[in-house]
Amino acid sequence: MDPETRIADLEEKLRKAVESEELHRQTEAGLRDALAYAESIVDTVREPLLVLDGELLVKSASRAFFEKFGVCREETADQFLYSLGNGQWDIPVLRAVLGEVLANGRSFQDFEVVHDFPGLGRRVMRLNARKIRREGNNTARLLLAIEDNTERTRLQDELLRSNEDLRRFAYVAAHDLRSPLDGALNLLGLFKGSLEGRLAENESQMLDLSIENMERLAALMQDILAFAEMTQVPRQKNPVALENSLQIALANLAHHIEKNQADIRVGKLPEVLCDRMQLAMLFQNLIGNAIKYRSSEPPLIRIDAAVEDHQWRVSVGDNGEGFEAKYAAEIFEPFTRLQGSKVPGSGIGLATCRRIVERAGGRIWADSQPGVGSTFCFTLTMEQ
């Protein structure tokens, strides 16, 4: 090879080497920029995040992780997860689930871990983990997201305790007030009888109003007591013929049915898994409401059942005054009375119905049209 050719060849090789070196530098710079960009995104996430390799060594951690658990980057980078913070992450259940993720590539979500961390105290955490593979790289990475639910859990526990205290208070108050109310009603009845024909018309009206108000208060106490007792009744799911529970309800409502000339038409009813007496209370409330909120026409009440999504859907429809659709959910809340004081009642009956159905594993809802009528539907588990 002549000298000129050799020099040209060397120049070409040098040029390619320079280009290769420049490409290498550009690639490294691009990787550094991509890594810095990814880390900046991770650091903006409010929840603690860890990126682990296949040996569970920490390759990256978010700022939220350092702040939440009181550690620094130098103590965390390239450290074994279970060695962090003097072993505070060496939790048996965490070992088990992360092992599943690495071995089988399975992810998990909302896995709850309760652990006492030195210096931090008891923490309730929800963990989410997913195995990640980078394109063109077989190295496995595991992303672990940590949500601290300690405060939320504490507030939920406090709310449950508060609700339980309120329920007990309502039960005790209703139970203890029922006896003096019954006594006062009896005394008022005797007093009215002893003064029969001796009172002026306005005095008699005031006495009747007093008795009526006391009766309404006694009924309210009874409904509150029934509603509060519902959570104390064991959840029983025995085969029950709906027809039997319905007959108990109809017997209890016989006077109101006859007085209002109600026409009650019953289709074929199945057996379900529930409590017989609670079902009777459910029917009694729904049929009683259909009679109470009747239109000018005699009440026509239809009771049917059909299979829907492997459950029984039971319906109680009427031709009453109905209500606007916007109240369909509100009416199942305690003390909700759309008619106010125009119609006697406590506003607890439908709330009791919802509690009965939900404790049986079903749901209850209503469809209605003003001036046309209402249909209340609920689902119950089929007998198996």
Q: Which residues lie closer than 8 Å to 186 by C-beta, 6 or more apart?
A: none
Does residue 287 carry a pLDDT above 90? yes
Mean of per-residue pLDDT scores for the chain: 77
- Domain spans of the chain, in order of start: 1-25, 45-148, 150-232, 235-384
CATH no., domain 150-232: 1.10.287
Is residue 40 scored above 60 in pLDDT? no
**Fold that domain 235-384 belongs to in CATH:** Heat Shock Protein 90 (3.30.565)
**8 A C-beta contact, residue 269 and residue 246:** yes
Encode pLDDT of 303-312 as tens digits. 999 998 888 9
Compute the radius of gyration of the chain from its Cα atoms.
Answer: 36
pLDDT of residue 290: 92
Q: Which residues contact 58 (CB under 8 A, 6 or more apart)?
A: 50, 51, 52, 76, 77, 78, 79, 80, 81, 84
pLDDT in tens, 238-259: 788 899 999 988 988 888 899 9
Identical topology for domains 45-148 and 235-384: no
Model confidence at 299, pLDDT cuts 50, 70, 90, reads very high
Considering the four listed CATH numbers 2.60.120.260, 2.30.38.10, 3.30.450.20, 3.30.420.10, the one that applies to the domain covering 45-148 is 3.30.450.20
pLDDT at 7 over 70: no
Calculate the alpha carbon distances from 97 to 88, 142, 250, 340 in Å. Answer: 17, 12, 56, 56
Tokens 């059942």 appear where? 305
DSSP class of 368:
E
Split at pLDDT 50, 70, 90, the class of 87 is confident
Half-sphere exposure of 34 (CA within 13 A, CB side): 6
